[in-house]
Amino acid sequence: MKKHYLILLVLLSACSADPVEPEVPAEEVVEEEVVVLDYDNDPIYSKGRPNLLNSYWGIFKESAALYGIDLSYIEDDDVNFVSTDLRDNVAGRADGSCRDYVRILIDETTFRNLDTGEQIFLIYHELGHDVFNASHDGGGLMAPNIRSIEYTLFQTEVSDFFTKVDFLEWTDEECEIIRGLTDG
Ligand SMILES: [Zn+2]
């Protein structure tokens, strides 16, 4: 009798030791979503519309405002993006350097084939020329070759541009030459 009792106990304890399926916790653990910013989801750059070139003026103003530069003194109507054919695969050119207007020539076919980062880089570079008379000698954003650039590095270049860390204006002599080139 005693023996049976023992066996029963063992059976019972074995039974209770059976692995139990872990219950799904009532509260789900919500993992924090880490959004990696890039040109395409940046709150400012993502507003650029290749088929609406004037949208880039809005985002350039917004970027400038981040660094305390208010460009609202420039009327939107005085900023012109002119769709044109540019040779040699050139996507854009500043036409208002050293002048009191902003006119950016864009070859839309070439422009639309650029990726978002290249488009933003190009527009900021050309507006840098026209709005601030920035020369290529400042480097960074104003370095002469429009290039594809990693997002975080671009942020630094934009910051260095608007805070005048990397910024040099065209000299009067250079402006004379530029005006000569863009005349007619
Ligand atoms: Zn340039």
The CATH number of residue 98's host domain is 3.30.2010
* pLDDT band at residue 91 using 50, 70 and 90 as cut-offs: very high
In a domain, 22, yes or no: no
In a domain, 61, yes or no: yes
**What's the CA gap between 146 and 92, in Å, rounded?**
10
In a domain, 28, yes or no: no
In a domain, 124, yes or no: yes
Q: How far is the CA of 124 from the centre of ligand 1 (A)?
A: 10
118-171 pLDDT, tens per residue? 999 999 999 999 999 999 999 999 998 777 789 999 999 999 999 999 999 999
In a domain, 38, yes or no: no
Range of the domain at 118: 53-182
Q: How far is the CA of 113 from the centre of ligand 1 (A)?
A: 19
Q: How far is the CA of 34 from the centre of ligand 1 (A)?
A: 36
19 pLDDT above the threshold of 90: no
Q: How far is the CA of 65 from the centre of ligand 1 (A)?
A: 22
Q: How far is the CA of 25 from the centre of ligand 1 (A)?
A: 59
**Dihedral sign (CA 155, 160, 166, 170):** positive
In a domain, 68, yes or no: yes
The 8 Å CB, 24+ separation contacts for 40-44 are 40/116, 42/151
Burial grade of 162 (CB within 10 A; 0-12, 13-18, 19 or more):
buried
Q: How far is the CA of 31 from the centre of ligand 1 (A)?
A: 44
Distant-in-sequence, close-in-space partners of 67: CB < 8 Å, separation ≥ 6: 159, 162, 163
Task: Domain count for the chain, please give it.
Answer: 1
Q: How far is the CA of 94 from the centre of ligand 1 (A)?
A: 7
In a domain, 6, yes or no: no
Q: How far is the CA of 97 from the centre of ligand 1 (A)?
A: 10
In a domain, 25, yes or no: no
